[in-house]
Chains A and B, each alone.
Chain A
Amino acid sequence: MDKNLNVWLDNLLQEIEGIKFRRKSTRRVRIDVAMDALPTLLELLQGRASYVHLSAITCVDWPDDGEFELVYHVWSYETQSLVSAHTRIPRDPGVYLSIYDLYEPAAFFERDIHEMFGVFFEGSPDMEKFILTEWDGPPPMRKEFDSEAFVNQQFEWQPYHPDWLKELEEEGGGVTTRPEDIRW
């Protein structure tokens, strides 16, 4: 790991306007950036600062803010540090730009986010369903999709109530120690 490079990068990033920069540790950097500036930032990181490896793209749903947070984790094999670029896009209509031309692995993550959150990425090579090909409900990873309610509505359980369980329930349930009593 090259300390100088990191210092150089910190200085560089701090000077760019419109982004919030925070170094969490020697190898982790968090950047908050507006949605229209993100592709430029990533291009800069990849082209100038050797962040060639897209580790992941994460989507976080913030329904209260009406936004999706997209986090691009890029790793540099040279400086051996990870930049997490956070950006927020409006939940409606949930359309954003693909970074496939910068990072090819983005195709998978964008496809995944598309089917799990319903965010459409313009310019991504493949927006077809991959995992949920036979699913016609709402994008399941959105916060408003209640998995448990869906399960109760869709599936049934087989009744299982043997005698030993009944006895146990009469004694006060399966858990003999109350949660607040447990100490590790």
Chain B
Amino acid sequence: MKDIKKIEIIQRPPPPEPARRTNPLARVFDELVRFCQSRSMFMLHYCTGCGAIELPPAMTSRFDMERLGIQPMVTPRQADILLVTGYVSVKTLKRIILTYEQMPSPKYVIGICSCTVNGGMYWQSYATAKVLKDYIPVDVYIAGCMPRPEAVISGLRALMEDIRTGRGDAWKKYYQNYDFYLGNQQRLFGEKWQTPTDVIAEAHHYGMMTDQTLGEHTDLLEQNEVPLDALRTRLKARTE
């Protein structure tokens, strides 16, 4: 699939936020909301790889992640953080992307284990994808093989700090640079790759479109897209 061109993200200053908040209390309110977001993180119950073995100890009586407001949740709809625990085989990566797109924003991805950074010890495996952040934006990496519960918790605390101070906004990149991520996904999964979630529509709906959201890869998606069925919620945004 190397024939699908790889593009790079052009780093630009983020588009200025529309100044809709003039109330001085709004800032306090935002702080409060961010604090609550940082203190209540629902993690998705999805053991994508072997690093998941250290999550039960981190959750249960000994390390007790609930102290920090972290709870496991079953479906992506309820979850805030996706822990990609270890190597991602290509088959799993598809599900991870599906799951990630189904999660409501703000959502955070933590790459646990070295395998998510650069393939880890499976660097020569034909079945595992190597660099997670090419496919979905990653907020925090916790390296190690495998990281101890303490490391997991410290990584989560780092994420909490990021959320509290408002730095944890990697999820916006997915909307803003969707073309880049989609391109990488297409290079790996083939040009017919398609998920049920309409990211472009979401980006449009929530006002997160940038000039890098759409591009040649989204065009390719549009070309090859099989309409889900006559129930067309997919998409008016593109024609507009």
Contacts and interface: CB of A to CB of B under 8 A. Distances in A.
Direct contact of A and B (CB under 8 A): yes
Interface of A: 132-135, 137, 140, 145, 147-148, 150-151, 153-158, 160
Contact of A147 (B117, B118, B124): B124
Interface of B: 1-2, 90-91, 94, 117-119, 123-127, 129-131, 133-134, 188
Contacts of B130: 151, 155-158
Given A151-B125, A155-B130, A160-B118, 10 more contacts: A135-B90, A140-B126, A147-B124, A147-B126, A153-B2, A155-B129, A157-B123, A157-B131, A158-B117, A158-B131
10 contacts: A134-B91, A135-B127, A140-B126, A145-B126, A151-B126, A153-B2, A156-B134, A157-B130, A158-B134, A160-B117
A165 to B, nearest CB: 13
Contacts of B118: 157-158, 160
A154 B117 contact: no
B131 A151 contact: no
B107 to A, nearest CB: 22
Contacts of B126: 137, 140, 145, 147, 150-151, 154
A129 to B, nearest CB: 11
A95 B38 CA distance: 59
A155 B91 contact: no
A140 B125 CA distance: 10
B188 A154 contact: yes
B189 to A, nearest CB: 8
A137 B127 CA distance: 11
**Main SS of chain A's interface residues?**
loop
Contacts of B133: 158
B37 to A, nearest CB: 28
A155 B126 CA distance: 9
A160 B123 CA distance: 14
Contacts of B117: 158, 160
Nearest to B93: A134
Contact of B124 (A134, A135, A151, A153): A151
B149 to A, nearest CB: 26
Contacts of A151: 123-126, 130
Contacts of B124: 147-148, 151
Contacts of A145: 126
Contacts of A133: 91
Contacts of A135: 90, 127
B119 A157 contact: yes
A150 B126 CA distance: 7
B106 to A, nearest CB: 24
Contacts of A157: 118-119, 123, 130-131
A148 B124 CA distance: 5
Contacts of B188: 154-155
